[in-house]
Structures are given as C-alpha cells and as structure tokens.
Structure 1
Amino acid sequence: MSHPDGQLEADRVVLKELRDRCGELDAACVLITRFAQMLTTRSGRDKLERWVHDAQNSPLPELRGFATGLRKDWSAVMAGLSVHWSSGAVEGHVNRIKMLKRQMFGRAKPDLLRKRVLLVS
C-alpha cells in the first residue's frame, strides 16, 4: 500500500518472490499499480477505459467487481480521475461537524454546537 520508492529492499525482494510464485498476485499488482498511477497523475481520461477492460478480463473476481462498479457511474469516475480540483477540504469539514454533532447528541443545545463548530482547535 506504499509507493514503490518508499519500500524497503527486503520488502521488494519478498514481493518479487511472491509475484513469481503466484500469477494472480502478479496480475493484481500490475492492475493496482496502473490504477494508482492514474489516481496520482489524474490521467484517467486517457487510460481508464483500457484499465477497466483489463480488470474485467482479469482472473480476480474482486477487481472484476470493482471495474463493474466503476462503469455504473462512469461520468463521476472519469471526472474524479481527470479534473484537477477537489472538494476534499470541504468533505473534511463536513465530517468534523458530523462527528461533533454525534458526540453532543442529546447533551447540548444548538448554541453550544455552534460554538464548538466555530472554535477550530
């Protein structure tokens, strides 16, 4: 789950041995690496169609299911892999507010919730 450049040499050797012994693991590593590169370089518009085709034809049912799920909302997936702006910061704030609300459920009035939301620690 880490970038290949950040792996220890011993981990690389073990992974290579495992990939040599198991063809399915090797196929999974190749497909997952290609998908990770699309995520980090935002090059989905050019490569996603080919990746999904390869994943659907792979021997791995998990990757086939994932690829089928991507096809269900193709336009959103394509935008997520090709558009350079993100709503991640907003989603983080929404998540924090929901957590505060859950913590305070039944214990505080809206004025205290408002103060906790506005006082960023």
Structure 2
Amino acid sequence: MTYRTVRQFADAATPGELLTGQWQNRPSVLGEYKPYLDDRWNEGCTNAWKLCEEIVPLGCKGSYQRVRAYLHDKHTSPWPVTARPSSSRTVAGWLLRRPETLTEPEQLQLETARAHCPEIDALTRHVRSFATMLTERQGERLPDWFDAVRQDDLPSLRTLAAGITRDRDAVIAGPTLAWNSGAVEGHVNRIKMLMRQMLGRAGFALVRKRVLLS
C-alpha cells in the first residue's frame, strides 16, 4: 500500500470519499441515459425491464443487466446514486448548437439541467433568442433582448450587452440591413495572405504588383 493510499484513507471524512478513484472516470454505456433513468426513478418507475425498453429506442447500447445493476445500486446504497452532472463545457456546447441537432439524450440532459438550475434556463433562452436574431436577421429585436438580459442575474451576459450597447446603432444595423462589409473583409484577408507568402522574399514593388494582378 502506497503512502498516497494511506493518506487517502487517513484523511477521508466520509465513507463516500474512499470510493473515488480512476475507475470512476471510465465511460459507461449508460452515461448519457442516467439522467433519464433518475427522472423515471423519481417518478416511481423502478422496473428495470421497462426502463431498458424505454432507453433502447433513444440509442442506448446498454443491456438489461446494466440497467438492473444501476437501479439496484440506487435501491441499496446508503448514499444517493445519481448520474454525474454534465460539465460546464458540455452544457455550453449544447447551448451553442442548433436545438434540432441535439440528440434525444442530449436534449434530456439539457432539460434536466434547466429544470435544476434557473441560471442555465435563463441563459438557454437568451442565447437561443440571440442566435435567432442573427440567423433570421431580426436586428430590430435587439433592444428588447437587452431589456430581457438586464432582468436576469447573469453577469457575463450583462457585460456582453453593455459592450454591444456602446455601438448599439451599428450592431442593430448589422443583422438588419442588406449591406455588409463582407467583400471588404475578403480583400483584406487576401492581401494579408499574399503579404505573409512574400514576407522577406520580395520588395514592396513586387508585392504591390501581385496584389493588383491577383
């Protein structure tokens, strides 16, 4: 037994702390579906066979035995056995994707996160509303979006809104008007590429000629 293991046993304040280890980080075939199983368990459904039949159409590859073992642990463990909460990076990925591209397990986990965290629920609404304004060119809705953001305690979004407000007219015009600076930005990027290619290999006259002729 190593010194680290001895210290782990000596410093543990609860029996649950002794259960931590590398084996807990191994992915499980039930991983994405445990929030669904937890919700159904809390609703009173404890039949492993029925729950297995419910998650298989969702794409789960787990067997009846795995579902039964997970539910058995929930029933017999003195500590609550629940799915690990999704990481902040994972939730952020769900928010930044189109809702229709999320798989059913991802939608279930996001809905679970929204139900347990009012901040995530508000953030989801604001992010999706902002994405709709940009993709559907509804810049006139931006002032209402500012007002909605100020009503919620979301410091990051408030900071974003405050920054946008400083160039309010320009930002509103961007997703509203048909004109944009896309062509200009394209030429700028092209010129930068040519300059990087010829850096240290040609004088200004040759660079100028290539830019004009390309």
Query: Taking structure 1 as the reference length, what is the TM-score of the superposition?
Result: 0.82
C-alpha displacement at 1:14, in angstroms?
1.6
**Stretches of structure 1 lacking an aligned partner (at least 5 in a row):** none
How many residue pairs get aligned? The number is 118
How many angstroms apart in 2 are the aligned matches of 1:89 and 1:12?
A: 38
Give the AA of the match of 1:21: H
2 CA distance for matches of 1:5 and 1:28?
A: 18
Query: Highest Rg: 1 or 2?
Result: 2
Structure 2 partner of 1:56: 150
2:134 is aligned, of 39, 57, 69, to 39
- For structure 2, which runs of at least 5 residues remain unmatched after alignment? 1-95
Q: Provide the identity percentage.
A: 42
TM-score (structure 2 length as normaliser): 0.50
Instruction: Provide the aligned C-alpha RMSD in A.
Output: 2.0
Q: Does 1:23 align with 2:118?
A: yes
Pair 1:92–1:15, CA change in 2 (3 A): farther
What letter matches 1:22 in structure 2?
C
Cα displacement (A) at 1:83 = 0.7
> Residues of 2 paired with 1:85 and 1:3: CA distance?
26
Aligned-partner SS, 2:183: helix
The equivalent residue for 1:74 is: 168
State the shift of 1:118 in Å: 4.6
Query: 1:95: which partner in 2?
Result: 189
